Protein backbone atom coordinates (compact mmCIF):
# COMPACT_ATOMS: atom_id res chain seq x y z
CA UNK A 1 0.00 0.00 0.00
CA UNK A 2 1.52 3.34 -1.01
CA UNK A 3 2.20 6.13 1.50
CA UNK A 4 -0.60 8.35 0.21
CA UNK A 5 -3.17 5.61 0.70
CA UNK A 6 -1.83 4.83 4.20
CA UNK A 7 -2.02 8.53 5.10
CA UNK A 8 -5.58 8.70 3.81
CA UNK A 9 -6.68 5.64 5.78
CA UNK A 10 -5.03 6.93 8.95
CA UNK A 11 -6.78 10.27 8.53
CA UNK A 12 -10.09 8.57 7.83
CA UNK A 13 -9.74 6.58 11.04
CA UNK A 14 -9.03 9.74 12.99
CA UNK A 15 -12.08 11.48 11.53
CA UNK A 16 -12.08 14.33 14.07
CA UNK A 17 -13.00 17.30 11.89
CA UNK A 18 -16.68 17.97 11.29
CA UNK A 19 -17.18 17.46 7.59
CA UNK A 20 -19.96 16.86 5.21
CA UNK A 21 -20.80 16.73 1.56
CA UNK A 22 -23.97 15.72 -0.16
CA UNK A 23 -25.02 12.19 -1.06
CA UNK A 24 -24.28 10.46 -4.37
CA UNK A 25 -24.29 13.48 -6.68
CA UNK A 26 -27.83 14.27 -5.57
CA UNK A 27 -29.26 16.08 -2.62
CA UNK A 28 -31.90 14.04 -0.82
CA UNK A 29 -34.51 16.19 0.89
CA UNK A 30 -35.69 15.04 4.30
CA UNK A 31 -39.05 14.05 2.80
CA UNK A 32 -37.28 11.57 0.52
CA UNK A 33 -37.56 13.54 -2.73
CA UNK A 34 -34.32 14.19 -4.62
CA UNK A 35 -33.06 17.20 -6.52
CA UNK A 36 -29.98 17.70 -8.69
CA UNK A 37 -26.86 18.99 -6.95
CA UNK A 38 -26.20 22.74 -7.42
CA UNK A 39 -22.42 22.29 -7.78
CA UNK A 40 -19.96 19.93 -9.53
CA UNK A 41 -20.08 16.36 -8.16
CA UNK A 42 -18.32 13.47 -9.88
CA UNK A 43 -18.42 9.84 -8.73
CA UNK A 44 -14.83 8.65 -9.28
CA UNK A 45 -15.18 5.14 -7.81
CA UNK A 46 -18.10 3.02 -6.70
CA UNK A 47 -18.45 -0.59 -5.67
CA UNK A 48 -20.51 -2.57 -3.17
CA UNK A 49 -18.53 -1.17 -0.19
CA UNK A 50 -17.78 2.49 -0.97
CA UNK A 51 -18.68 5.44 -3.18
CA UNK A 52 -15.95 8.03 -3.73
CA UNK A 53 -16.98 11.47 -4.96
CA UNK A 54 -15.01 14.49 -6.09
CA UNK A 55 -17.05 17.53 -5.02
CA UNK A 56 -16.40 21.20 -5.77
CA UNK A 57 -18.24 23.91 -3.84
CA UNK A 58 -18.17 27.07 -5.99
CA UNK A 59 -17.52 30.31 -4.11
CA UNK A 60 -20.54 32.15 -2.84
CA UNK A 61 -22.92 29.21 -3.27
CA UNK A 62 -25.34 29.93 -0.49
CA UNK A 63 -26.36 26.33 0.10
CA UNK A 64 -26.57 22.79 -1.24
CA UNK A 65 -30.22 22.54 -0.36
CA UNK A 66 -31.47 20.59 2.62
CA UNK A 67 -30.42 16.95 2.19
CA UNK A 68 -29.92 13.77 4.21
CA UNK A 69 -26.86 11.54 3.93
CA UNK A 70 -27.75 7.87 3.57
CA UNK A 71 -24.25 6.60 4.42
CA UNK A 72 -21.55 7.55 6.93
CA UNK A 73 -18.75 9.33 5.11
CA UNK A 74 -15.21 10.65 5.34
CA UNK A 75 -14.26 13.95 3.69
CA UNK A 76 -10.71 14.81 2.62
CA UNK A 77 -10.14 18.50 1.91
CA UNK A 78 -8.16 19.14 -1.29
CA UNK A 79 -8.33 22.95 -1.22
CA UNK A 80 -8.41 25.10 1.89
CA UNK A 81 -11.47 27.17 2.69
CA UNK A 82 -14.52 27.46 4.89
CA UNK A 83 -17.86 25.68 4.78
CA UNK A 84 -21.02 26.73 6.57
CA UNK A 85 -23.22 23.92 7.90
CA UNK A 86 -26.89 24.40 8.80
CA UNK A 87 -28.88 21.64 10.51
CA UNK A 88 -32.54 21.97 11.51
CA UNK A 89 -32.82 22.93 15.17
CA UNK A 90 -29.10 23.69 15.58
CA UNK A 91 -27.08 26.90 15.31
CA UNK A 92 -25.34 27.49 11.95
CA UNK A 93 -21.63 26.67 12.11
CA UNK A 94 -18.84 27.88 9.80
CA UNK A 95 -15.66 25.78 9.91
CA UNK A 96 -12.28 26.60 8.36
CA UNK A 97 -10.54 23.64 6.69
CA UNK A 98 -6.89 23.40 5.66
CA UNK A 99 -5.68 21.31 2.73
CA UNK A 100 -5.36 17.72 3.93
CA UNK A 101 -7.96 18.06 6.71
CA UNK A 102 -10.03 14.93 7.19
CA UNK A 103 -13.42 14.61 8.82
CA UNK A 104 -16.15 12.06 9.47
CA UNK A 105 -19.93 12.33 9.61
CA UNK A 106 -22.43 9.62 10.61
CA UNK A 107 -25.24 8.48 8.32
CA UNK A 108 -28.70 10.09 8.35
CA UNK A 109 -27.49 13.65 8.98
CA UNK A 110 -29.88 16.23 7.50
CA UNK A 111 -28.36 19.63 6.71
CA UNK A 112 -27.29 22.09 4.06
CA UNK A 113 -23.78 23.29 3.24
CA UNK A 114 -22.50 26.59 1.81
CA UNK A 115 -19.11 27.93 0.69
CA UNK A 116 -18.99 31.55 1.90
CA UNK A 117 -15.49 32.06 0.50
CA UNK A 118 -14.18 33.70 -2.67
CA UNK A 119 -12.54 30.56 -4.10
CA UNK A 120 -13.91 27.10 -4.93
CA UNK A 121 -13.47 24.37 -2.33
CA UNK A 122 -12.74 20.84 -3.54
CA UNK A 123 -13.32 17.78 -1.37
CA UNK A 124 -13.02 14.02 -1.86
CA UNK A 125 -15.85 12.26 -0.05
CA UNK A 126 -15.73 8.53 0.73
CA UNK A 127 -19.15 7.11 1.57
CA UNK A 128 -19.09 3.81 3.48
CA UNK A 129 -21.91 1.54 2.35
Average pLDDT over residues 68-91: 94
CATH number of the 3-128 domain: 2.60.120.10
pTM beyond 0.75: no
- Find, among 20, 108, 106, the residue nearest to 64 by Cα: 20
Is residue 24 predicted with pLDDT exceeding 50? Answer: no
127, 24 Cβ separation under 8 angstroms = yes
CA–CA gap between residue 72 and residue 76 (Å, rounded)? 14
State whether residue 75 is helix, strand or coil.
Answer: strand
- Domain coordinates in residue numbering, the chain: 3-128
Q: Of the ranges 27-31, 68-72, 91-95, 119-123, which one carries the lowest mean pLDDT score?
A: 27-31
Count of helix runs (H) and strand runs (E) in the chain: 1, 11
Question: What is the predicted pLDDT for the residue at 65?
Answer: 83
Amino acid sequence: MDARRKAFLAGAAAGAVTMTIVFGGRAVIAGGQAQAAKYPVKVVLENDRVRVRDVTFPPGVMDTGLHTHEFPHVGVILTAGSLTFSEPGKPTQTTRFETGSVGYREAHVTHQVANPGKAPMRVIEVELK
